[in-house]
Amino acid sequence: MRAWEVVSPGPLAETPLLMVERDLPLPGPGQVRVAVSTCGVCRTDLHVSEGDLPVHRRNVVPGHEVVGHVDALGPRCSRFAIGDRVGIAWLAGTCGHCQFCRRGDENLCPQATFTGWDHDGGYAEAAVIDERYAYRIPDGLSDDQAAPLLCAGIIGYRALRRTGLRPGGRLGIYGFGGSAHLTAQVALHEGAELHVMTRSEDARRLALDLGASSVGPADAAPPVRLDAAILFAPAGEIVPAALGALDRGGVLVIAGIHLTDIPRLRYQDHLFNEREVRSVTANTRRDGEEFLRIATRMGIVATTTPYPLEHADRALADLAGDRLTGAAVLHVAATS
C-alpha cells in the first residue's frame, strides 16, 4: 500500500515526509483494519512532521481524521463487521484503570496513545485501530465532511464546552482554520455572539458568512468585552491580547497541542477579576460521540479543500502557509 512516513522531522522545506510502499497492516486481537477513503489534514500532523512534537514512533504515518470501511477483523472483534464505515480519531488507546480513566477523564491518561503519533495513521491506504476507539460514522455525513469532524471538530467542541459559555454569551475565536470554523457553527447554533480575530482575510470572510458579528486581525481588540475566548492559533503571543479582551469572570481556552512561548503576563491587566486560562488535552470518546451526534443534528458543514494522497506534503505546506480556508482533506480512495 502507499503511505507517507515522517522519516526525518524538520521544516517542510527539508522534506521530512516521504511516500513509500508498505505491506498492508494486519489487525491484532480486538483491532480492525480500515481501508481509508479520506483523511483530514490537521495542524498536529504539521507539528509531528516538523518536530514541534517529538515523534513517538520512528517513520510514523501521520493522520488522525480517518474515514473508511472495515476490510479486516482481528481475533475477538465484535463491535464492527466487514464493510462498516468507521472513523479513526486522535485518541487511540488508554490504560482503562488509572485515576483519570476511572473518573471519566481518559484524555488525561498518562498511558494514552495517539493515532499518527504513537500508531500509524491515515496518510495511507489502510490503517489499524483498536475497535473500542473507532467511531461509527453517521449516515448523514459524507466521507469528505466526516473527516475534519474527527479531530478538528471534536477538539473544538471540547474547547467550547470548557469555556463554560452561557447561552447568548460573547465568544471570541483567535485563529479561524479547520477546527475554529466548525466550533463557530456550534456556538452560533447555540445562540452565542461571535467575534473572530485571525490573520487570514479569506478566513475573516468565511467567519462573516457563517454569522460572526465582527472580524479583525489576530491581535486586534474585539468591539465588545468577551465572556469567553478560544485560542486556536499556535501563537503564544496572542494570549495576553485574548486575556485582555475578556470581561470579568471570562475564560480563555487554549485548544492546541502545541503553543509557542507566552509572553510575561501582568496580573492586574490579564488575570485579575477572576479571568481564567484553561487548556485542552486530547478528548474522550464521550466527547467524540456527543459531537458527531450534535454535528449531524445541527447540520454542521465543513469547508474543505481536497488533495490526492500523493499531494499530502503540499496540503501540509498550504496549511503552514495559511493558504487554506477551512480544512484540507486527502482523498485516498473513492468516497461516499
Looking up residue 84, the CATH number of its domain turns out to be 3.90.180.10
For residue 55, the model assigns a pLDDT of: 86
Closest alpha carbon to 220 in 202, 203, 195? 195
Each residue's pLDDT tens digit, 4-15: 999 999 999 999
Q: Are residues 167 and 51 in the same domain?
A: no
Structural domain for 122, as ranges: 2-137+303-331
Q: What percent of the chain has pLDDT over 70?
A: 99
Q: Does residue 217 register a pLDDT over 90?
A: yes
pLDDT band at residue 334 using 50, 70 and 90 as cut-offs:
low
Q: What percent of the chain has pLDDT over 90?
A: 96
Q: Are residues 14 and 124 in the same domain?
A: yes
The Cα 295–Cα 318 span in angstroms is 26
- 107 falls within a domain: yes
Q: Are residues 119 and 197 in the same domain?
A: no
- 146 falls within a domain: no
Closest alpha carbon to 251 in 223, 271, 267, 266? 271
User: Using an 8 Å Cβ cutoff, are 158 and 289 in contact?
Assistant: no
Averaged over 254-265, what is the pLDDT? 94
The mean of the pLDDT values for the chain is 96
Q: Are residues 121 and 176 in the same domain?
A: no
How many Cβ atoms sit within 10 Å of the Cβ of residue 82?
12
Q: Are residues 272 and 324 in the same domain?
A: no
Closest alpha carbon to 280 in 218, 246, 230, 233? 230
Each residue's pLDDT tens digit, 12-55: 999 999 999 999 999 999 999 999 999 999 999 999 999 999 88
What H or E segment, with its residue span, contains residue 175? none
Averaged over 296-321, what is the pLDDT? 96
Q: Are residues 99 and 194 in the same domain?
A: no
- 68 falls within a domain: yes
Kindly state the greatest CA–CA separation across the chain.
59
Question: Which range has the worst mean pLDDT, 55-59, 171-175, 228-232, 287-291?
Answer: 55-59
For residue 322, the model assigns a pLDDT of: 87
Q: Are residues 258 and 171 in the same domain?
A: yes
Looking up residue 249, the CATH number of its domain turns out to be 3.40.50.720
Each residue's pLDDT tens digit, 102-114: 999 999 999 999 9
Q: Are residues 230 and 255 in the same domain?
A: yes
- 236 falls within a domain: yes
Q: Does residue 213 register a pLDDT over 60?
A: yes
- 162 falls within a domain: yes
Q: Are residues 104 and 189 in the same domain?
A: no
All cell numbers assigned to 177: 482554520
User: Using an 8 Å Cβ cutoff, are 149 and 182 in contact?
Assistant: yes
- 296 falls within a domain: no
Q: Are residues 185 and 248 in the same domain?
A: yes
- 294 falls within a domain: no
- Give the total number of structural domains in the chain: 2
Q: Are residues 29 and 94 in the same domain?
A: yes
Q: Are residues 224 and 309 in the same domain?
A: no
- 160 falls within a domain: yes
pLDDT band at residue 241 using 50, 70 and 90 as cut-offs:
very high
